[in-house]
Amino acid sequence: MNNNHNNNVFWQHFRRNRLAVAGSIVVGLLFAISLLAPIISPYNPADIDVTSILEAPSLAHPLGTDELGRDLLSRMIWGSRISLKVGFVAVGISTTIGMLLGALAGYYGAWVERIIMRLVDVMLCFPTFFLILAVIAILEPSIWNIMMVIGITSWMGVTRLVRAEFLTLKEREFVLAAKAQGLSDRRIIFRHMLPNALAPVLVAATLGVAGAILTESALSFLGIGVQPPIPSWGNILTAGKNNIQFAWWLSVYPGLAILITVLGYNLLGEGIRDATDPRLRE
């Protein structure tokens, strides 16, 4: 009953936030586009047409074509799949690592907490993007390496959030009662405490997807991310940079896609944060 009440309160406050609703609509549309890519894509994104090189937007090609005559709309649609895949897998990796380390630090404290938090401090000392560049330069550029590297270098914020939640939760009555019953630490952490610490993690994960998509786009733009011919918004932008003087559409449309996607996830994340934090409710 209490969970139903909390859910109702959450949705009431979430619906009042028009920007959050707009962000959720953007995210929903992106999901729909990526899932329906084989159906709604007008052309095969890899099809080369030497008779249609760098054509401006037209009825045949609504967003124009690139330097190989490939339809830009089709490549944008399929590129949304890559961006969302990178975002969710990378955030899944970082969230899993962050929750585990944060739970251990917050629950056990003492030397366990000191070691984990010093590791967090060390990781935060490195500029994340340059650390990713260094690792990718050593590894072979591929979508799987991109997802792994982004995930492994972005877990520190989740660790801090979960640790802070656990420091509060471990003094609550239900945790003390579980300890008094002789339940194992693993059961207390994963069955009793972690579910109650997920609200800030959900917000961080939502915002993290936007950051991962932006990082992937930047790496692909630099030529060390997703490699052609696989379409990615970042490597489409690279083609736009090389032809910006006479093919503006190659820069404008993927740039807008990245902007709208990142903005949508940020608005959704802020809306979830406001709806789950009683201090931020009106």
Fold of 84-266: MetI-like fold (1.10.3720)
- Is the predicted pLDDT of residue 195 greater than 80, yes or no? yes
- Is the predicted pLDDT of residue 279 greater than 60, yes or no? no
CA separation for the pair 185, 200 (Å, rounded)? 22
> Which sign does the torsion angle of CA 100, 206, 132, 130 carry?
negative
pLDDT at 103: 92
Asked whether 225 and 141 are in contact (CB, 8 A), the reply is: yes
- Is the predicted pLDDT of residue 218 greater than 70, yes or no? yes
CA separation for the pair 203, 103 (Å, rounded)? 17
- What Rg value do the Cα atoms of the chain yield, rounded? 22
pLDDT at 99: 93
- Is the predicted pLDDT of residue 247 greater than 50, yes or no? yes
**Strand, coil or helix: what is 71?**
strand
Pick from 153, 158, 121: nearest CA to 139: 153
CA separation for the pair 14, 35 (Å, rounded)? 26
Which of the two residues, 79 and 224, has the higher pLDDT score?
79
- Is the predicted pLDDT of residue 203 greater than 90, yes or no? no
- Is the predicted pLDDT of residue 98 greater than 90, yes or no? yes
Enumerate long-range contacts of 219-223, CB under 8 Å, 24 or more apart.
219/132, 219/133, 219/136, 219/141, 219/146, 222/133, 223/141
pLDDT at 8: 72
Asked whether 54 and 67 are in contact (CB, 8 A), the reply is: yes
Asked whether 238 and 220 are in contact (CB, 8 A), the reply is: yes
Q: Please give the average per-residue pLDDT across 104-111, as a whole number.
A: 88
pTM, full prediction: 0.84
pLDDT at 6: 57
The pair of three-digit structure tokens given for residue 273, joined into one six-digit string = 């944060």
Query: Is residue 102 very low, low, confident or very high in pLDDT (cuts 50, 70, 90)?
Result: very high
Provide the terminal-to-terminal Cα distance of the chain, rounded to the nearest Å.
24
- Is the predicted pLDDT of residue 282 greater than 60, yes or no? no
Percent of the chain with pLDDT over 90: 25
pLDDT at 138: 80
- Is the predicted pLDDT of residue 223 greater than 50, yes or no? yes
Chain mean pLDDT for the chain: 85
- Is the predicted pLDDT of residue 7 greater than 80, yes or no? no
pLDDT tens for each residue of 22-76: 999 999 999 999 999 999 999 998 888 888 888 889 898 999 898 888 999 999 9
Query: Is residue 277 very low, low, confident or very high in pLDDT (cuts 50, 70, 90)?
Result: low
Domain boundaries, the chain: 84-266
pLDDT at 1: 47
